[in-house]
Structure 1
Amino acid sequence: MNSTFERPEPADTSRAPRNGGDLVVESLVGLGAQAVFGIPGQHALGLFDALSRSGLRYVGLRVENNAGFAADGYARTTGTVAPLFLSTGPGALTSLAALQEAAAASAPVLAVSSQIPSAGLGGRRRGYLHELVDQQASFRDVVKSVHIARTASQIPSALAAAWESALTAPYGPVWVEIPQDVLLAPTTVPPVTGLRAEPRPLPARPELVAGAAALLAGAERPVILAGGGVVRAGADGELLRLAELLDAPVACTFGAKGAFPWEHPLSLQSWLEDRHTTDLLADADVLLVVGSGLGELSSNYHTLRPGGRVIQIEADLGKLESNHPALGIHADARLALDALADAVADSLSGRPRRDGRGAAVAAELLERVRERIDGQGLDLERQVLAAVRDALPDDSPAFFDMTILGYWAWSAWDARRPGAMHSAQGAGGLGYGYPAALGAAAARPGRPVLAVSGDGGAMYSIAELATARQHGLDVTWLIVDDGGYGILREYMTDTFGAATGTELARPDFVRLAEAFGVPAVETTPDTLRADLAAALATPGPGVVVLPALLRMFAPTHLD
């Protein structure tokens, strides 16, 4: 996927002398960057001054963590690197939760941070403002790779290496650190030209493809579980081809929304917290897992016990066979599925092997799920989710915070295309939905974007209403106001009989949004569809507030 921005003009190098900040900006432009997210800070001013001499679009947020979430949303929307500028110490550290989410979701965010002047490094404590002698240590356990530039001449190569790392499967956030004095000092390094970063391909080894193809071609009850790696690799076409060759039902993890057509006869949809789905995956004689580590959510809280052979295609070596023994294939999902489909087609002489059994299995599973949900008295919740889905145009993405409606969307939301639904389920932090949606809107100007939060999560991001207004970003924010942390209220009540610390004082969200100059309306379940559709159709930011107490469907991993 490519952004709709025009490619920025090269930096203006006519003034002299240039400095390290100019080298950063010139390098990013040369690598293909089109926008930068961040917040200025004292040690990072050289970065931001250089932005004024470039064609890069700057989207400034109000909190560093939200700037990181916005970069994440931009990266997921464009499929390419999103630069994030941060200052030293408190500014950098405030971005950690956002970078953890980017790491969990394999979003290619490139964080460029300043550091205290070089004289303060090397273990000495000189008392600089924001001083962290070993700042990079705070990020090594979060990001994919750390890159350091201690001189101006090292800056282009460090950024190119970071860019390549971010876009080499598995994608992920990376960290580049440059001292303040290096950013500010005049440099005689020539203007950056010809900088290249070529992500390394990760093909599947042929003997593993052959072994997997033999297992799948000989299986009686093959099932496929598609993970987020299918979406990131752009492998939805290859997945569809293989599933139809095998007549194999396909379930999508919560991070793989849109990887397989929701209404396809072979679709098991995403009801991974339902025991019927867990049992079906466990009953497969060959279970093909693509782009998923079979973690807590994808395995119904580790209650999945595969009874047959497991084939796992995974680009992240650390996740390969980390939860279940498998024929592990360390590869990019698209390259592996393409090779596997060819091999299976050869084994089956190019013809699907069965005549509709897979579709019958999928239909029976979905009927069981519907019967179970029908018996739980959840008409309000289903009405609200349906109203939101009906109001949102098919080509518009939705970004869900960690809220009850978001939990419903994990299982029940029809994304209608790959990458059209995102949430913070990777790391599970609050406050993701709205700033990430702002990043997506910056990536695709003129297309409405939906963000969904609860009132608790909304307070993490409320300052970004100013960002939305300042940049005119087309994000409609649905805030479901239930007076507290609704999902935690349910968890505590179910576990302890009562909830503690979950009830919240909160503002009048309509009046607060209007104080930022953002149009807002309070709605009801009956008027939600019309109010949300109207807000989405109106250019610029908007807020829709739904006072409602929603409930989750009963979990089945405890049955």
Structure 2
Amino acid sequence: MTHDHDLVLRPTTAQTEAALNPPPGRTGGDLVVETLAGLGATTVFGLPGQHALGMFDALRRSKLQYVGLRVENNAGFAADAYGRITGEAAPLLLSTGPGALMSLAALQEAAAASAPVLAIGSQVPAAGLGGGRHGYLHELRDQRASFRDVVKSVHTVRTASQIPSAVAAAWESALTAPHGPVWVEIPQDVLLAETSLPVVTAMDATPEDLPPRPELTALAAHLLANAERPAIIAGGGVVRADASGKLLALAERIGAPVVTTFGGKGAFPWEHPLSLQSWLEDRHTTEFLEDADVLLVVGSGLGELSSNYHTFAPRGRIVQIEADLGKLESNHPALGIHADARLALSALLETVPARHDDTAAERVRTVLDKVRARIEGQDLTLERQVLAAVREALPDDAPSFWDMTILAYWAWSAFDARRPNTMHSAQGAGGLGYGFPAALGAAAADPTRPVLAVSGDGGAMYSIAELATARQYGLNVTWLIVDDGGYGILREYMTDAFGEATGTELARPDFVALAGSFGVPAVTTTRESLAADLANSLAAPGPSVVVLPAVLKMFAPTHL
């Protein structure tokens, strides 16, 4: 009798011959790129540096597509977007010390948004590892420690033979729910040293599933089926798990209104009769959710933005499905189900009976009418026109990437994403400079669709250098820059809090002329011509810039 664990895959004669006679001139860097290719990677992002040259030299001997950005943080944002769009781990190649540290803000955003980024950085020569001070260029006392608080897992290589296993383990970690960034570091001398190891072929790094416990989904199904006023909050975990179809089926089966968080935009159809849309910064929505006797929270930790700045005080029972164990019941007591959103929703659909509620759609309309009346009662015509123009110009399936700017704050609540996994912003960690480099990563992932980036003039200055990247690779990204002369949202915050703003007013360039100097077509637009100018730019191949001089305002908060 043969058991599975007795089976050994024996190499073929050709495989043995190839292993015994690897091509000459290979280095540790080749083992890195061979492993990435064996895992299924096709595109890598990054920026070369002295200690990392072994990896970059190996790229010319591989079939991997390389997209090089001008700043490591922007390369990280591009990899983040590539991971979100494709659902694959996005390799990010970096150098030691300053180059590595420049990526930290991007990796923090990837961690907050559960974007699978596989960052591979170089290190000082292996003899210098261990926390000493050997005087190497770029040396840190403990480079790993700088990343450990940001990424999911840290992997250090000391010999060439460790490279394939370390990279595969990191790949699996990045793609295990919840997705996230990981860090691998390899000494310079290991990357440069010639190797006689066989060429790395296919690697198996399949992430483990995270199924729900059946007794918990049975109880959750019972609670939902017997609820009088069930409601659902759908977060970014629904999008990351590709579970939007399951969510729709469950909501319709039990007649539960659904609100999507800012990270979950597009997870539920905007115009569906059960859609509360995304007005989480509105007290009417908050009160509706507080009144639910059973609230199903899927793929959200109910953090600051999703809880209307921690004013949300639910009175009913919460069922929380969350792949990130640290977020499970972190803000509110719940029936916590540690699971991938798609698997958990599938389990609920198998067990929960249909529940009919003729009042649900009417209650949703009542809430949205109150929200609409509140917004219409404020002097916000310009803001609504600008957002409507963007929606009119953007094809339904085209991804958009929004920096931390007032128009993005509007979009979180008021923009109809129309498709899952098409609207992305930096609201996870809240750093500036995300929009444009992230859009470049999305364009590299899918060159067949135009991509929109939205920034303010302050955030745009973080990534102006990437106009060169966009031009070099001919990436189909249209960049909308709303120029209000400074950090607009901070100007509002400080004026409201202190009566005047400090440090928010900025000298800035002529963005149209600056784009032109990079060979990127650009135009200044108005609120009246914005939709047409954006549509024309999005339809044209290659990068483009549209500048809208405008001072936008936020709608009045209702969490106070």
Task: Give me the TM-score of the superposition, normalised by structure 1.
Answer: 0.96
- Per-residue deviation, residues 392-436 of structure 1 (Å, max 9, x unmatched): 011101100000000000001111110110000000000000000
Map 1:164-175; keep pairs closer than 5 Å.
164-175=172-183
RMSD over aligned Cα, in angstroms? 1.0
Which residue of structure 1 aligns with residue 474 of structure 2? Answer: 472
User: Which residue type is aligned with residue 476 of structure 1?
Assistant: T
Distance in 1, matches of 2:22 and 2:193, equals 17
Q: Deviations over 1:151-177 (max 9, x none)?
A: 000000001100000000000000000
Aligned length: 541
1:18 pairs with one of 26, 30, 48? 26
Given that 2:43 and 2:65 are in contact with CA atoms closer than 8 Å, whether structure 1 keeps it comes out as: yes
Deviation at 1:120, TM superposition (A): 1.3
Q: Is 2:22–2:197's contact at 8 Å kept on the other side of the alignment? A: no
Find the partner of 2:383 among 381, 384, 397. Answer: 381
Q: C-alpha separation between the residues in 1 aligned to 2:521 and 2:112?
A: 34
Residue 124 of structure 1 corresponds to 132
Instruction: Name the counterpart of 2:202.
Output: 194
Confirm or deny: 8 A CA contact 2:257 2:364 kept in the other structure: yes
Partner in structure 2 of residue 415 of structure 1: 417
Whole-Å Cα distance in 2 between the matches of residues 310 and 353 of structure 1? 18
Distance in structure 2 (CA, Å) of the matches to 1:101 and 1:90: 19
Aligned runs of 1:21-170 on 2, under 5 Å?
21-170=29-178
Gaps of 5+ in 2: 1-17
* C-alpha contact 2:22 2:198 (8 A) present in aligned 1: no
1:364 matched to 2:366: yes
Contact 1:217 1:344 in 2 (8 A): yes
The reply on whether 1:285 has 2:293 as its aligned counterpart is: yes
Contact kept? 2:22, 2:196, Cα under 8 Å: no
Aligned residue number for residue 404 of structure 2: 402
1:221·1:284 contact (CA, 8 Å) conserved in 2? yes
Alignment of 1:338-357 (within 5 A): 338-345=346-353, 352-357=354-359
Partner of 1:313: 321
> How far 1:83 moved relative to its partner?
0.1
Superposition pairs for residues 511-526 of structure 1, below 5 Å? 511-526=513-528
User: What secondary structure is seen at the aligned counterpart in 2 of 1:387?
Assistant: helix
Q: Of residues 268, 282, 294 in structure 2, which corresponds to 1:274?
A: 282
| TM-superposition CA deviations, 1:339-366 (whole Å, max 9, x none) | 0122113xxxxxx422432111111111
Q: Does 1:211 align with 2:222?
A: no
How many angstroms apart in 2 are the aligned matches of 1:205 and 1:429? Answer: 36
Distance in 2 between residues matched to 1:519 and 1:194, nearest whole Å: 43
- Alpha-carbon spacing, 1:471–1:14, altered in 2? closer, same or farther (3 Å): farther
CA positional deviation for 1:62: 0.2
Asked whether 1:326 is paired with 2:328, we answer: no
- Conserved 8 A contact 1:403-1:454: yes
Moved over 6 A (4+): none
2:239 corresponds to 1:231: yes
Secondary structure class of the residue paired with 2:127: helix
User: Structure 1 residue 475: deviation in Å?
Assistant: 0.2
TM-score (norm 2): 0.96
CA distance in 1, matches of 2:489, 2:215: 46
Between stretches 296-305 and 14-23, larger displacement belongs to 14-23
- C-alpha distance in structure 2 between counterparts of 1:41 and 1:123, whole Å: 21
Q: Percent identity?
A: 78
Residue 257 of structure 1 aligns to a residue whose secondary structure is: coil
Which position in structure 2 is the counterpart of 1:488?
490
Aligned to 2:301, the other structure's residue is in SS state coil
Aligned to 2:431: 429
Q: Shift in Å at residue 205 of structure 1?
A: 0.2
Query: Any conservation in 1 of the 2:68–2:469 contact (CA below 8 Å)?
Result: yes
1:82-128 CA distances to partner (integer Å, 9 max, x unpaired)? 00000000000000000000000000000000000012122321111
Alignment counterpart, residue 504 of structure 1, candidates 503, 506, 514 = 506
Partner in structure 1 of residue 3 of structure 2: none
Q: Which whole-Å deviations, capped at 9, do the CAs of 1:438-470 have from their partners, x for residues lacking one?
A: 000000013100000000000000000000000
Tell me the amino acid that sits aligned with residue 102 of structure 2.
T
**Unaligned ranges ≥5, structure 1:** 1-9, 346-351
Amino acid of the structure 2 residue aligned with 1:526: E
Query: Is contact 1:120–1:133 with CA below 8 Å preserved after alignment?
Result: no
Query: Contact 2:293–2:316 at 8 Å: present in 1 too?
Result: yes
CA contact (8 A) 2:49 2:99 kept: yes
CA distance in 1, matches of 2:311, 2:131: 47
Matches of 2:350 and 2:488, distance apart in 1: 48
State the match for 2:539 in structure 1: 537
Q: Distance in 2 between matches of 1:365 and 1:155?
A: 55
